[in-house]
């Protein structure tokens, strides 16, 4: 079915939005209406309210062409956040790229779990983020804990570049450093809080993921090995050497991985002190502490 042909070579917001929704629906984009609207707001530089109040506005030829191009990218199933270059997380906008995972609402569960455990929000805490990506987890905690200092670790230089950009945008660059390292290999010292959302998807499951993920998000940040636990094995083995005696670690986990992580923790002198479920009731974050 062809896209709607616009009459008289004029392009109203209503016309192009309707056409775009149909294009995205044909491409099996589940959030077709929402994504089409967000992309039109992006092209026009308006808010949702401004768009709804001005659906009869006429787009310029340049605006219409740009919008069609962005809709075509979304129809290829490129993630919306990569198209517009940003994603909201915990009330702040974060720059994203093809080198970083798209920040997800599920990961806000980790933020909640950490903040629930910090008794003194003004304490001068040292926070380590293993596999920082966009930096959304670490930078969000630094916003919530005003006297904390952070270290973000990533093996991908391009991802660290995105994290540095986000730190500057949030005016946190003086409170954070970024280290190129394969997990803890280049680290020294101990931290009060260690957080991580490592790759935890079993290799064979990656082909079953949505096209937005398997085609466009970095494999390095997704593939957790045959059983999804490879990165957890590496991290838990090094964790005791980098935790202060009263410190704790917070791991995001995949569905059905809780018991396996509990066993890994026990092997390395750690214990699961708390489990935080996401809004769907699924265990999403484990809090680990030293056993002695």
Distance CA 171, CA 76 (A): 35
44-103 pLDDT, tens digit per residue, is 999 999 999 999 999 999 999 999 999 999 999 999 999 999 999 999 999 999 999 999
Q: Which tokens hold the place of 111? A: 């933020």
- pLDDT tens for each residue of 93-150: 999 999 999 999 999 999 999 999 999 999 999 999 999 999 999 999 999 999 999 9
**This prediction's pTM:** 0.92
What's the Cα-to-Cα distance from 90 to each of 108, 112, 138, 173, 269, rounded to whole Å? 7, 10, 12, 18, 33
User: Nearest-CA neighbor of 37 among 91, 49, 27?
Assistant: 49
Q: For the chain, which domains are there?
A: 7-76 (1.10.8.10), 86-290 (3.40.50.150)
Q: Can you tell me the distance from the alpha carbon of 288 to that of 247, in angstroms, rounded to the nearest whole number?
A: 9
Cβ-in-10-Å burial (0-12, 13-18, 19+) of 81 comes to: buried
Over residues 215-230, the mean pLDDT reads: 96
């Amino acid at each position: 079915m062809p896209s709607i042909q616009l009459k008289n070579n004029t392009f109203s917001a209503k016309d192009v939005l309707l056409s775009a929704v149909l294009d995205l629906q044909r491409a099996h984009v589940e959030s077709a209406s929402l994504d089409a609207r967000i992309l039109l707001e992006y092209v026009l530089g308006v808010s949702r309210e401004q768009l709804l109040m001005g659906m009869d506005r006429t787009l310029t030829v340049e605006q219409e062409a740009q919008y069609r191009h962005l809709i075509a990218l979304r129809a290829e199933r490129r993630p919306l956040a990569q198209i517009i270059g940003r994603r909201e997380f915990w009330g702040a906008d974060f720059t994203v790229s093809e080198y970083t995972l798209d920040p997800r609402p599920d990961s806000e569960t980790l933020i909640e779990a950490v903040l629930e455990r910090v008794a003194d929000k003004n304490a001068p805490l040292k926070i380590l983020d293993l596999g920082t990506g966009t930096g959304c987890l670490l930078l969000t905690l630094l916003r919530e804990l005003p006297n904390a200092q952070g270290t973000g670790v990533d093996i991908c230089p391009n991802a660290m570049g995105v994290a540095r950009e986000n730190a500057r945008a949030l005016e946190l660059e003086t409170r954070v450093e970024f280290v190129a390292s394969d997990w803890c290999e280049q680290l020294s010292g101990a931290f009060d809080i260690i957080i991580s959302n490592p790759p935890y998807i079993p290799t064979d499951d990656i082909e079953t993921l949505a096209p937005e993920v398997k085609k466009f998000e970095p494999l390095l940040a997704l593939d957790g090995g045959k059983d999804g636990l490879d990165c957890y094995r590496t991290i838990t083995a090094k964790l005791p050497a980098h935790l202060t005696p009263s410190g704790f670690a917070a791991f995001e986990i995949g569905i059905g991985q809780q018991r396996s992580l509990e066993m890994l923790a026990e092997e390395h002198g750690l214990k699961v002190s708390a489990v935080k479920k996401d809004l769907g009731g699924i265990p999403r974050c484990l809090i680990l502490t030293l056993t002695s």
